[in-house]
Amino acid sequence: MDSLFFLFTGAAMTNILDIKNLNKSYNGIPALKNVSLSVRAGEIHGIVGANGSGKTTLMNILFGNPVIRETGGYQGEIYYEGVSLKTKNSTEIIGLGIGMVHQEFALIPDMTIGENIKLGREETNRFTDRLFGKKYSFVDRKKNDLNAESALKKLGVNVDIGVKIINLSTNTRQFVEIAREIARADLKLLLLDEPTAVLSRDDASNLLEDLTELSQGGLGILFVSHRLEEIQQICDRATVLREGEVISQYGRGEVSTTKLARDMIGHTVSKAMAKKRAIEPRPLVSFQQYSVEMPGEEIRGMDLDIFEGEILGLAGLSGHGKSALGYGIMGMYPATGEVVYENMKIDRMDAKANILKGMYVLPDDRQALGILPDHSLAENIIFTGDQIKGLFSMNFGLPFLGFLDKRKVYDHVHQLVDDFEIRCTSVKQKIRELSGGNQQKVCIARALTVNPRLLFVAEPTRGIDISAKEKILKMLIDINRSRHTTIVIASSELDELKRVCDRIAVMVEGRIFKVLQPDSSDVEFALALAGEEGTDYDA
């Protein structure tokens, strides 16, 4: 990595990336309008914007994504160190010294961390280099791994370099992905598209520190993120996009979350806030020695009482089991231990049986588990209620028929679409065409159709822009207050949990470590999350 450092010391504070009057439209619908911005060597330039503001389009253009060319290219100029990028494809762009970290992982699951980081740039044996040429030379594993390890060390990650990607948590994968880019000796500009979206709070803040360090070494970074605090924390400059236009640009010292938030959505957001109240400690469900074998998120012998009518928060770092609770009950992963629900022991972790008993789970991975992407909004809302409870089926006397009662469906769906302000062209629109926030609303609407007594929600606001976030949280509070639905929210957004929940249970290593009040201090939470006893001991 010495060479990397050497390269950067000489770099002056000139623009390495210049975007001038960029315009792009898809089928006549403008996605970017006159966007201009620049990145200097050694600076972090933040880009914020709500969903649909053009961030992804901008990144796609910079990445040289073929989608752009297929949809008619773009107008305007992009210069990288004085070279126009217009006619370049992805490979050529990478060759120029631009590194990219995408939202989706581009790692090979069956190769080790070291192999992935050095893929295509392996250190080779010098003797066989001369014998067979560089291309067919033997890989010097030792040197290779050392090199990869130093890149990971730079990011402050300590993992065995020989572990295969397939065995890693999402968090670590993200770090490997970034390590792969910074292990390149010729890297001068790094494009990061929501690198912290899949990370837990702790890991995200580690990553931010690493990025600051890298930029001080002379690397230019273009950083796209939803999380405004991150932008404020690390960016030297920030650009706010709204509906494809540059709304504002802030220089060093001017970046603040409130300004960014205002510019981003065009108005101020009122935050969801639940009133404090006393909950009668009558358990609706209690878990004893409950374990779930969800790989990477195991619960190991948890004891927990969930009180009737409360909103319980589940906090914890990723990998400590907070998202596995609901999955275990629905039989998605093998679960053991005792669960008593309404004074009855639940012996079978079976989705159908437990939905009928009044439990429902909204998953954290919305795309993979939460929606039927090619089905309509209406079909997504009614699916579970119809399949399990037969709410919308017409049988004509034959129980196996179950044709859809379309009028009943549409009445129900229209009602919910109005109530929740789900933005769509019609209830027949395919759900994958909706934004993340609206998809989440559809998921909640589906849960309401089933009308559960106990609702598990995991990461309800993940990947959703800030104004929609607050709406989702308000919806959850409303449901709890008006329908007396007991809600368990597992989330890595501690701030949100503190605003919404009646109690917050902190999970450490698959067990409940401590149950805190939402108004407990940040220090208490930080200690609990780290698994350290604070000053006051729980009995």
Nearest to residue 188, comparing CAs of 94, 90, 123?
94
Taking the complex as a whole, the smallest distance from the CB of residue 27 to another protein amounts, in Å, to: 12
Q: 26 or 127, CB closer to another protein?
A: 26
Q: 72 or 373, CB closer to another protein?
A: 373
404 contacts another protein (rule: CB under 8 A):
yes
Q: 225 or 439, CB closer to another protein?
A: 439
Please list, in sequence order, all residues whose beta carbon lies within 8 angstroms of the beta carbon of residue 384, skipping any fewer than 6 positions away.
Answer: 355, 360, 446, 447, 449, 450
Q: 356 or 523, CB closer to another protein?
A: 356
Taking the complex as a whole, the smallest distance from the CB of residue 49 to another protein amounts, in Å, to: 28
Q: Given candidates 67, 83, 273, 372, which one binds another protein under the rule CB under 8 A?
A: 372
Among the candidate windows 348-356, 416-424, 476-484, 487-495, which touches another protein by CB under 8 A? 348-356
Q: 269 or 388, CB closer to another protein?
A: 388
381 contacts another protein (rule: CB under 8 A):
no
Among the candidate windows 49-57, 257-265, 274-282, 355-363, which touches another protein by CB under 8 A? 355-363
Q: Given candidates 12, 270, 275, 400, which one binds another protein under the rule CB under 8 A?
A: 400
In the 8-state DSSP scheme, what is residue 345? Answer: E
334 Rama sector, left if φ>0, alpha if ψ -120 to 50, beta otherwise: beta
In the 8-state DSSP scheme, what is residue 370? Answer: I
332 contacts another protein (rule: CB under 8 A):
yes
Q: 27 or 158, CB closer to another protein?
A: 27
26 contacts another protein (rule: CB under 8 A):
no
Cα 78 to Cα 436: distance, rounded to the nearest angstrom: 30
Structure tokens at 29: 């619908």
Among the candidate windows 83-91, 141-149, 242-250, 402-410, which touches another protein by CB under 8 A? 402-410
Q: 260 or 448, CB closer to another protein?
A: 448
330 contacts another protein (rule: CB under 8 A):
yes
Residues in contact with another protein, counted by CB under 8 A, come to a total of 37
Q: How many CB atoms lie within 10 A of CB 90?
A: 13
DSSP 3-43: HHHHHHHT--S-EEEEEEEEEEEETTEEEEEEEEEEEETT-
At 136, which helix (H) or strand (E)? none
Q: How many CB atoms lie within 10 A of CB 363?
A: 20
73 contacts another protein (rule: CB under 8 A):
no
Structure tokens at 179: 């390590």
Q: First CA to last CA across the chain, in angstroms? A: 51
Structure tokens at 526: 């930080």
Residues 114-173 that bind another protein (CB under 8 A): 165-166
197 contacts another protein (rule: CB under 8 A):
no
Cα 535 to Cα 398: distance, rounded to the nearest angstrom: 65
Distant-in-sequence contacts of 240-243, Cβ < 8 A, 24+ apart: 240/47, 240/48, 240/49, 240/264, 241/35, 241/47, 241/48, 241/49, 241/53, 241/54, 241/55, 241/58, 242/49, 242/50, 242/53, 242/266, 243/52, 243/53, 243/54
Q: 357 or 503, CB closer to another protein?
A: 357
Q: Given candidates 401, 523, 526, 530, which one binds another protein under the rule CB under 8 A?
A: 401
Q: Which residue has the tokens 């802030």?
A: 250
109 contacts another protein (rule: CB under 8 A):
yes
Q: Given candidates 102, 375, 408, 503, which one binds another protein under the rule CB under 8 A?
A: 375
340 contacts another protein (rule: CB under 8 A):
no
Q: 126 or 428, CB closer to another protein?
A: 428
Binding site for another protein (CB under 8 A): 109, 165-166, 327, 330-332, 350-356, 361, 363, 368-375, 379, 383-384, 386-388, 390, 393, 400-404
